[in-house]
Amino acid sequence: MKKLFLILFLFLSVQTIHAQNRLERVEPLFWWTGMKNTNLQLMLHGKDLSGYTLKVNYPGVKLVKTHPVENPDYLFVDLDIQSEAKAGKFVINLEQKGKSSLKFTYELKNRDNAAGRIQGVTNKDFIYLLMPDRFSNGDPSNDVVKGMRETKLNRDSMYYRHGGDIQGVVNHLDYLKQLGVTTIWMTPEIENDMVNASYHGYAVTDHYRIDPRYGTNESYKNYVEKAHGKGLKVIKDIVHNHIGTGHWMYNSLPMKDWLNQWPEFTQTSYRDEPVMDPHTSLADRKKMLDGWFVSSMPDLNERNPFVQQYLIQNHIWWIEYAGIDGLRLDTYAYNEPEFMADWAKRLQAEFPTLSIFGETLVNSVPAQAFFTQGNTVNRGFDTHLPGITDNVLKASLFEALNGKSGWVDGVFRLYNTISQDFLYQDADKNVIYFDNHDMSRFYSVIGEDYNKYKSGIALLLTLRGIPQMYYGTEILMKNYSDPDGLVRSDFPGGWKGDKENKFTPAGRTTQEQDAWTYVSKLANYRKNNPALQTGKMMQFVPEDGMYVYFRYADGNKDAKDVMVILNADSTAKTLNTKRFSERLVNKTILKDVINNTEFKLDQPIAVPAKTTLVLELN
């Protein structure tokens, strides 16, 4: 009898273990009490979860509804985490007649309400964009991770991984702070377990996991905390629009319409016009929004309410977990507009100080403004998107530096672009830049002309908006986006054994050091002058190929008014200041913030060719 009882006990134990192993994933991994929105939708994934009923017995947690879906290996569960719920762990039971019961433990945590934890990114900041795989290798032990699809490491190729990681960025936080940077934006650190060329991070394969070749979830959180400890903010780059074909759920979708499906592969048109065109064809609009970005990046169906909730909760999870200050939204124009508006409202309700800005690579100021908040007349709803990556200003900056002045060309293009700021609710929330990981580098586009380089940096750090610089610009890194992707080259010195270490002055050439010093001096000056951060801007119609504007903060005793003079021509010129008297009242001396040279207002100012002067008014 005892032997029979023992056999029965072992059989039931094996069955219980087998049942528990059938539940492979529960997402979100855990959650928090005290959220403004008390609804939480769990996604359960395992073998044949259809037909199970759930039981929850924890004070303040109410089971609202279970959602069986097309794929029986998924079950969605709606919970209400009520205000009285306390942090702790509790068991959720799944039961079905005739089948072994399943159960799992779920955890609620207390929110971290430390003052200033999520600071937001504003026009007080200077953003440094880097690709973690190409910046610095701080932990060689994670260069190759067994079990992942891509196991090659080859720094001689732009299309393989090079080994940079989160620890490499942590190791150089002091370098960034000395440069004058206030905010770090990395291309996505999330898992990209693709066959190859996934180092860029935009083909997510697990929404809740940092790519192990970069580190762990814990090391990412530690990075944010260390950055904050040094007075640096952190932006996380997120992708709503698509996933990678290596995503764990791609070959076993919860439901067919989790993705935008087509009878045959259909790529997006990459045309933003159908999204805003009042005369557009619905077919054109559908191709733009529902077409896949590329064949390896399936397009998520953001009209599906389960997809919506999954993405919203995932982004809330990362912000609360790590204390991120801002989000950059990849391929913003390709997303379902109404969903993105609701997404922004949900996140801003939970994190009022969070900053967000969207990538909109469009070609006119009205098109950019169309996507930003406040433009409800033409949309019928508010996008709640504070700012965008200002691609139009970027193009006009290059035109000002490289073009020949004409009625609408050269410096006039820059003046004209900024004159249209009335279309934005607040143009100061736009991110301004020269280049990024998808574009030819600034120094190459201006023909490696060092005078133009300094002139451009001066404009970037004194114009309205939030300036962003791509890694290596400070040491004159160059190259074009085609054909070899060299714009994503490694930062010299980021790897043990590099012949040159340009993180240090000793490793830089004379000109590279001069460039680094120029960026650092202007960036740190900007950091300490409210006029260049939150101050107003007044610009004057360009004359004789020269463009003049002022940054000022009337009434702020800590602000120093600044006059900026751009001479984009190839010949030196002089500027008479009488025309600008409305901003020069009670001023007698102008001081160059770079070299401390002084200019008297009763004399013409000599402006060298291809030069931008940044002058403090005294």
Q: How would you list the strands of the sheet with 546-552, edge to edge?
A: 536-543, 546-552, 562-567, 611-617, 589-592, 598-600
Q: What is the pLDDT of residue 11?
A: 40
Q: What is the pLDDT of residue 35?
A: 97
Q: What is the pLDDT of residue 372?
A: 97
Write the pLDDT tens digit of every residue in 534-584: 999 999 999 999 999 999 999 899 999 999 999 999 999 999 999 999 999
Write the pLDDT tens digit of every residue in 178-204: 999 999 999 999 999 999 889 999 999
Which of 326, 268, 337, 336 has its CA nearest to residue 297? Answer: 268
Q: Which residue has the higher pLDDT, 18 or 213?
A: 213
Q: Report residue 463's pLDDT band, with 50, 70 and 90 as the boundaries.
A: very high
At 89, which helix (H) or strand (E)?
A: strand 88-95
State CA 171 to chain mean position distance. 21
Q: Report residue 485's pLDDT band, with 50, 70 and 90 as the boundaries.
A: confident
Q: What is the pLDDT of residue 139?
A: 98
Q: What is the pLDDT of residue 17?
A: 39
Q: What is the pLDDT of residue 196?
A: 85
Report the CATH superfamily, name and number, of domain 123-230+430-528: Glycosidases (3.20.20.80)
Q: How confident is the model over 26-54, as a mean pLDDT?
A: 96
Residue 100 has pLDDT above 90, yes or no: no
Residue 7 has pLDDT above 80, yes or no: no
Mean per-residue pLDDT of the chain:
95
* HEC letters along 42-65: EEEEECCCCCCEEEECECCEEEEE
Q: What is the largest CA-CA distance in the chain?
A: 111
**Looking at the domain 536-617, which fold is it?**
Immunoglobulin-like (2.60.40)
Write the pLDDT tens digit of every residue in 381-393: 999 999 999 999 9
pLDDT > 90: what percent of the chain? Answer: 90
Write the pLDDT tens digit of every residue in 503-529: 999 999 999 999 999 999 999 999 999
Beta strands at 31-32 and 562-567: parallel, antiparallel or unpaired: unpaired
Return the structure tokens found at 79. Answer: 């919970």
Residue 5 has pLDDT above 70, yes or no: no
Residue 278 has pLDDT above 60, yes or no: yes
pLDDT > 70: what percent of the chain? Answer: 97
Going from N- to C-terminal start, the domains of the chain cover 18-109, 123-230+430-528, 536-617
Which of 506, 508, 497, 500 has its CA nearest to residue 137? Answer: 497
Tell me the C-alpha distance between 112 and 319, whole Å: 11
Q: What is the pLDDT of residue 482?
A: 84
pTM score of the predicted model: 0.95
The catalytic site residues sit at 330, 359
Q: What is the pLDDT of residue 10?
A: 44
Tell me the C-alpha distance between 443 and 476, whole Å: 6
Write the pLDDT tens digit of every residue in 104-154: 999 999 999 998 899 999 999 999 999 999 999 999 999 999 999 999 899
Q: What is the pLDDT of residue 241?
A: 98
Q: Which residues pair with 189 in a beta bridge?
A: none
Write the pLDDT tens digit of every residue in 397-424: 999 999 998 889 999 999 999 999 999 9
**Same topology for domains 18-109 and 536-617, yes or no?**
yes
477, 151 in Cβ contact below 8 A?
no
Angle at 552 between CA 547 and CA 556, to 5 degrees: 170
Beta strands at 611-617 and 562-567: parallel, antiparallel or unpaired: antiparallel
**Looking at the domain 18-109, which fold is it?**
Immunoglobulin-like (2.60.40)
